[in-house]
Amino acid sequence: MDSQNSAKKSSRKSRGRPRDWDDKTAQNTIKSLDRAMGVFEFLSEAQGKALSTLASDLGESPATVYRILVTLEGRGLVEFDQMDQVWHVGPRAFIIGARFLKRTSLVERARPIMRHLMEATGETANLGIEQNGYVLFVSQVETHASIRAFFPPGTLSRLHASGIGKALLAQMDIPRIDKLLSAAPMEQFTEFTLTDRDALMADLSETRARGYAIDGEERNIGMRCIAAPVFDIHGEAVAGISVSGPTSRVGTDQIAEFSKEVVAAAQELSAAIGGGDAKR
C-alpha cells in the first residue's frame, strides 16, 4: 500500500513539475519574466506612475521598463493613460485575481493553518462564520489531550457567548450589532455570560482594540476560548479562528502567549484568501 501511495504521489508531481523541481538555483528562474513581474507588482502598489519615475524607482533603464510595460499592456495587465502620460494596472489583472478568488476555499485554506495552531498551543483549533445571528462552526482540528473542547462542524453557538462570535461582532458597525442581538434575547449560559448590552459593547470595544476576543467561561464553565477575526479582500470579517480548552490549561497566564498564535493564524488565513486588515 505504501509503495502504491508513493507511486501515486510521484505521478502527481511529475505532471505538475519537472523531476528536478526542488532545485531553486538561478537556472530555474527566467530572469526577464522575474524582472517583468517585479515591475508589475511595483506598479500594482504605486499606480499612476510615469515611465521615468518607474524606471528611477526600480533602478532599471527606461528602455527596459518600457519594453516590459508594452508587453504587459498587450496582455491587458497594465494600461497607459494617454492624457496624464502615466501607467496603471489593467483590467486583466482583476480578471486573473477574480479567478483565484473563485478557487479559494476558506475551509480548505484554513486546515493547515488550524493544524499548526493546534500544535503550537496544544489546544483545539476552530473555524466559524456568522450565520443568521449565530456562530456556525465549519471546521475543527482537535487537540490530542483527553479533555478537550468539542464543536464539530455544523454546531451553532450564540454570538454574544462565543469567542469567535465576539471577534466577529467587534468588527461590525453598531446598527448591525443591534440587529443581530435584537433577533433573540441574550441568553445567559453561565454566571460569566454577558447579557447586558452595555457590558457586551464594552467587551467588544476592548476586543477590537487588542485584536482578539476572549470567551472566559461564558458559554461553558471550565472552558476558555481565544479568537481572532479573518478578513477578506474587502477588509470585512468573514470568519473567526480560535483555540479553546479547559481553564486548567488555558489559564489567564496563557492568554498572552496563545493570543499571539491565534492572531498570527488569523492573519495568515486572511492573506491566504486574498484579504488583509480590517476595513477602516
* CATH at residue 205: 3.30.450.40
**66 and 131 belong to one structural domain:** no
Mean pLDDT computed over 21-48: 77
Q: Is residue 194 part of a domain?
A: yes
pLDDT reported for residue 26: 59
Q: What is the pTM of this model?
A: 0.67
Q: Is residue 212 part of a domain?
A: yes
Taking only the tens place, the pLDDT of each residue in 129-165 is 998 888 989 899 998 877 767 677 778 899 999 999 9
Q: Is the pLDDT of residue 15 over 70?
A: no
Query: Which of 9-18, 81-90, 205-214, 259-268 bottoms out in mean pLDDT, i.e. has the lowest?
Result: 9-18
**119 and 204 belong to one structural domain:** yes
CA-CA-CA-CA dihedral for 199, 205, 206, 212, to nearest 10 = 110
**85 and 135 belong to one structural domain:** no
Q: Is residue 205 part of a domain?
A: yes
The band of 19, judged by pLDDT with boundaries at 50, 70 and 90, is low
**42 and 162 belong to one structural domain:** no
Domain count, the chain: 2
Q: Is residue 279 part of a domain?
A: no
**86 and 139 belong to one structural domain:** no
Q: Which three cell numbers stand for residue 203?
A: 467587551
61: CATH: 1.10.10.10
**76 and 179 belong to one structural domain:** no
pLDDT reported for residue 155: 82
Taking only the tens place, the pLDDT of each residue in 242-257 is 999 999 999 989 999 9
Q: Is the pLDDT of residue 97 over 80?
A: no
pLDDT reported for residue 40: 92
Q: Is residue 180 part of a domain?
A: yes
The band of 11, judged by pLDDT with boundaries at 50, 70 and 90, is very low
pLDDT reported for residue 28: 61
Percent of the chain with pLDDT over 70: 85
CA distances from 75 to 66, 68, 81, 92, 189 (A): 14, 11, 16, 7, 58
**51 and 124 belong to one structural domain:** no
**176 and 258 belong to one structural domain:** yes
**113 and 60 belong to one structural domain:** no
Q: Which of 81, 101, 121 is the last residue of a domain?
A: 101
- In sequence order, the 6+-apart residues with CB closer than 8 A to the CB of 110 are 127, 139, 239, 241, 269, 272
**231 and 198 belong to one structural domain:** yes
Q: Which of 101, 124, 143 is the last residue of a domain?
A: 101
Q: Which of 64, 83, 101 is the last residue of a domain?
A: 101
Q: What residue numbers bound the domain in which 202 lies?
A: 104-272
**68 and 160 belong to one structural domain:** no
**133 and 61 belong to one structural domain:** no
Q: Is residue 277 part of a domain?
A: no
Q: Is residue 46 part of a domain?
A: yes
Mean pLDDT computed over 182-207: 93
Q: Is residue 278 part of a domain?
A: no
- In sequence order, the 6+-apart residues with CB closer than 8 A to the CB of 29 are none
The band of 168, judged by pLDDT with boundaries at 50, 70 and 90, is very high
Average pLDDT score over the chain: 86
